[in-house]
Chains A and B, each alone.
Chain A
C-alpha cells in the first residue's frame, strides 16, 4: 500500500470515527451535570466504610478485585520488559563510568532525596485519607532513589539498589495483595472483602483493609518502577556489543 492510499484509508476511517463520536457525545450526560448515580453510591459506600478518600475506597475496597487484575498487568509488563531487555549473547557488561556532577545539582539532589522519600512514604500511608495511595506514592519513592543517579552517578545508584532485591520486592507486593484476599477468604468472608475493624473516620487507622492493600501496592509499584528503570539504564550505560570497543 503506498503512502497516498494509506492516507486516504486513514482519512476515511478517522472521519467515520469522528461522526460516530459526535453522535455518541450528543447523548452523553451533560458536562458538569449533577446526575451521577454511580458516584453518589460510591461516596455513600466509602463513608459507610470510614474511608475519607473515596477514590481509594473505590480502588481498594469496592473494586479491589479489579485492582488485583490491574497490578497483575503491571507485574506482567515489568516481567516482559525484563525479558525483552535482558543481556543478549552478543553483548557484554562494562562498568559505568564515573560522572562529573555540578556541585549545585549534587547539593540540591542530595537534599531533596530524603524529602522525596518521606513524601512518597507519606502518600502511601495516607492513601485512605488524602489524595494519593500505593500507585502514586510508590512512584514517588522510586523517583527518590533515582535522585542518587542525578546527584552522584550510576555506580552509586547501583550500590543503593540491588535489582534482584527489588525484583523480589515486586513479587512480594504482588503476592501480598493476593494473600490478603485469600486471608479474608479463610477468615470466612468473600475474597478481598473488607472485614477488618473500620476504625475512626479520618484517622490513619481507618478504612479496614484499604491501608493494607495500599501498602502492598506501594511496595509493588516502587519496586516495579525501580526494576523497569534499571533495565533501561543498563541498556544505556552498561550493555555494549561484544565486538564493539566503546559504548
Chain B
C-alpha cells in the first residue's frame, strides 16, 4: 500500500513540467527568506495601514490621504518585484547596453501608470470633498449618514 503510493508520487513528480527557479525553493527557508521578503511585506503593511486609516477616518481629506497610502503600497510591491541585485535604471543613454544588469522596466512603466492614475483620482476625490464641505458643512464621514436633496 505504502510502496504503491510512493510509486505514484514519483511518477507524478517526473511528469511535472520544468518550473522557474523561484518555484523550486522550499516555502519555508528560515534564514534568508525573511530578509528577502521584507520589501513585499512592507508593501502589504502599507496597504493594511492605509485600510485602517481609511476605515477609522474622521475627516474626508484624511481619508483621501489614506487612500493614497494604500495606492503607494502597489508602487512598493511593483518596484520590489522588478528589483535586481546590483541592477541600475533601465536607461541606456549613459550605460552601454549589456554593461550592467538593469532592473525590470515593465514594472517601472506600470508604476508610472499607477502614479498618474493615483494623482488624478486623488484630485477628483478632493474636488468631491470640496463640494461635500460646501453643501453639508462638514467633512466628517460619520455626520454624512442621511441623504439630503
State the A residues within 8 Å of B (CB): 6-7, 10, 13-14, 17-18, 21-22, 25-36, 38-39, 42-43, 46-47, 52-55, 57-59, 63, 66-67, 70, 73-74, 77-78, 80-81, 84-85, 88, 129-131, 135, 202, 221, 224, 228, 231-232, 235
Contact = CB atoms under 8 A, between A and B. Distances in A.
Q: Which 7 A-B pairs have the closest CB atoms?
A: A39-B104, A77-B120, A32-B85, A58-B109, A54-B105, A54-B90, A21-B44
Given A55-B105, A55-B112, A135-B116, A25 B82 contact: no
A25 B25 CA distance: 13
B69 interface: no
Given A35-B21, A80-B127, A53 B83 contact: no
16 contacts: A17-B47, A25-B41, A26-B27, A26-B28, A28-B37, A31-B37, A31-B39, A32-B83, A35-B21, A42-B105, A46-B105, A47-B92, A53-B90, A55-B91, A73-B116, A74-B120
B48 A17 contact: yes
Contacts of A77: 120-121, 123-124
A58 B36 contact: no
A202 B68 CA distance: 36
B117 A38 contact: no
B144 interface: no
Contacts of B27: 26-27
B40 interface: yes
Contact of B37 (A25, A36, A73): A25
Contact of B105 (A10, A29, A39, A78): A39
Nearest to B104: A39
A26 B37 contact: yes
Contacts of A202: 92-93
Interface in B1-37: 20-23, 25, 27-28, 33, 36-37
Given A54-B91, A74-B120, A85 B131 contact: yes
Nearest to B114: A70
Contacts, number: 169
Nearest to B54: A10
Nearest to A224: B120
B113 A70 contact: yes
A67 B117 CA distance: 11
A228 B123 CA distance: 8
Contacts of B81: 28-29
B55 interface: yes
Contacts of A63: 109
A153 to B, nearest CB: 22
Given A28-B22, A35-B21, A58-B109, A131 B91 contact: yes
B62 interface: no
Contacts of A42: 90, 104-106
B128 A84 contact: yes
B88 to A, nearest CB: 11
Nearest to A91: B134
Contact of B101 (A28, A34, A131): A34
A10 B28 CA distance: 29
B126 interface: yes
B129 to A, nearest CB: 10
A3 to B, nearest CB: 9
Given A59-B112, A202-B92, A33 B37 contact: no
A81 B25 CA distance: 49
A63 B128 CA distance: 32
